[in-house]
Copies of this chain bind each other. A is one copy, B any other.
């Protein structure tokens, strides 16, 4: 069905919502490299992974041939509470930029977790529940993932233990409080509850923690607690699978109105949002049905795709999780403290890494002052205060639209607006007051990270 006037916001009807997740690996001729068990240094088996992860999720993680996984009714029912998310035509931004380009964004921020993270949180919690578990453990930095998971667990009546990086726990009391409101226990990490935590506290008295340490505490707690498993909000194949709901909804909405994007843009940290948004479009490209340009946008201060190495690396700084082949800055790499937003992960989803390595996707990095400038311009005309992460995509979408202005091309640009910035106002304050600065790691900085890469194969 093609309608003449494209509405500001396209909402699918409930009966048009996707019934299956799409697994882009199924259409890749050269598959992403398998994950490796750090104990054996061999490809990880289901048995290796099941003490840490839920059974069904392990299946999804390892399956690179099944294209579609049915979305269970209970998950679909939860999705109906906050999905479909709108596909928005950015008429006001187009007018402001005076571009002939047509700009669309898929807005994932209209739920209390404030981002797309909820899409995978509910799926992971559902499979934990289905397995008869009591609860799940996870880590959270800024708190977006922890919030999403606590919402999903509250809905399903599962216990949720979140290890929150101590400095975030102290600096972001509101994020913490949302999680508690949804019934999660939130422990500042490093804590005295785990062996890892006690060890780190003893070795580094007064430490404010790190994501790597919080991961270790969450995994340890899952391994030592009867009826618990560990869950993760990005990087993993299963997360990209669940997040394909973003791209599937987008594609259905675009098809309905006869819209074909020329360029598809997403911000990239671990890859959950970008992978989800592009999946069905990438599938078409992989099957030779249609061509698209894909652009991953990452912070200049954490440039895994644009300046990283494609190699096997540890997924966590504690080196207890499986190893993954990915574009990485080394598991010891920590972005500069002046970096305000998320997208701080040292590596990139192995699927996206492989697609990038095959030349099927481009990547670009942006400094944060440019990103916030784009964010504020966007907010003032489109009304939505974007998360700093999402604003990386906004920046490049605006750049591409301005190129169209120069060339006169009427390209169709699609980007993912992953979330809102209500809990990032400290960073906006820095930008508004002119005290925000940029940091681009030197080659020497990066060399230190690369030195820590493990020898594999």
Task: Report A's interface with B, CB cutoff 8 A.
Answer: 7-9, 11, 13-14, 78, 80-82, 92, 110-112, 114, 151, 154-155, 173-174, 177-178, 180-183, 376, 379-385, 420, 422-423, 425-426, 428-429, 432
A154, B110: Cβ atoms under 8 Å?
Answer: no
Partner of A155, one of B9, B380, B423: B380
Taking a contact as CB atoms under 8 Å apart, the answer to whether B7 and A380 are in contact is no
Task: Among B114, B154, B177, B422, point to the contact of A380 (Cβ < 8 A).
Answer: B154
B111, A155: Cβ atoms closer than 8 Å: no
- Chain B nearest CB, measured from A198 CB (Å): 26
Residue contact B181 to A151, C-beta cutoff 8 Å: no
Q: Which residues of B contact A183 (CB under 8 A)?
A: 380
Question: Which residues in B have their C-beta under 8 angstroms from that of A173?
Answer: 425, 429
Can you give 30 contacting A-B residue pairs, CB < 8 Å? A7-B13, A8-B80, A9-B80, A82-B383, A92-B155, A110-B110, A111-B383, A111-B384, A112-B379, A112-B383, A112-B384, A112-B420, A151-B383, A154-B381, A155-B381, A173-B425, A174-B425, A177-B425, A177-B428, A177-B429, A178-B385, A178-B428, A180-B428, A180-B429, A181-B379, A181-B425, A181-B428, A181-B432, A182-B380, A422-B423
Copies of the polypeptide in the assembly: 2
A112 to B381 CA separation, bound complex (whole angstroms): 12
The docked-state distance in angstroms from the alpha carbon of A385 to that of B111 is 9
Which residues of B lie under 8 Å from residue A420 when comparing CB positions?
112
State whether A112 and B385 are in contact (beta carbons under 8 Å apart), knowing that A425-B173, A425-B178 are contacts in the complex: yes
- Top 7 closest A-B pairs, CB basis? A174-B425, A154-B380, A8-B80, A177-B425, A112-B385, A422-B422, A177-B429
Contact call B177/A432, Cβ cutoff below 8 A? yes
Indicate if the CB atoms of B8 and A11 lie closer than 8 Å. no
Docked complex Cα distance between A383 and B122 (Å): 11
A213 to chain B, nearest CB (A): 25
CB-contact partner of A7 in B14, B155, B385, B428, under 8 A: B14
Q: A82-B383, A420-B112, A425-B173 are in contact. Are A181 and B376 (CB under 8 A)?
A: yes
CA distance A80 to B6 in the complex (A): 12
- Who on chain B is nearest to A431 by CB? B181
Please give, as numbers and ranges, the residues of chain B lying within 8 Å of A110 by CB-CB distance: 110
Instruction: Pick from B81, B114, B178: contact of A92, CB below 8 A.
Output: B81
Q: How far is the CA of A7 from the CA of B14 in the complex (A)?
A: 7
Q: In the docked arrangement, what's the CA distance between A380 and B181, Å?
A: 8
Residues of B within 8 A of A174 (CB): 422, 425-426
How far is the CB of A112 from the nearest CB of chain B, in Å?
A: 4
Instruction: Give bound CA distance, A114 to B109, whole Å.
Output: 12
Given A7-B14, A174-B425, A420-B112, CB of A81 within 8 Å of CB of B181: no
| Beta-carbon nearest neighbor of A157 in chain B | B380
Quick one: closest B residue to A375, CB to CB?
B181
- Cα distance A383–B423 when bound, in Å? 18
| Residues in chain B near residue A382, CB distance under 8 A | 81
Task: Give chain B residues whose Cβ lies under 8 Å from the Cβ of A155.
Answer: 92, 380-381, 383
Most central of A78, A110, A420 by chain B CB within 10 Å: A110
**Bound CA–CA A81/B382 (angstroms):** 7
CA distance A379 to B112 in the complex (A): 9
Bound form: Cα–Cα A112–B177 in Å: 20
Nearest-CB distance from A281 to chain B (Å)?
A: 25
Q: A80 — which chain B residues lie within 8 A by C-beta?
A: 7-9
Least Cβ distance of A188 to chain B in Å?
15
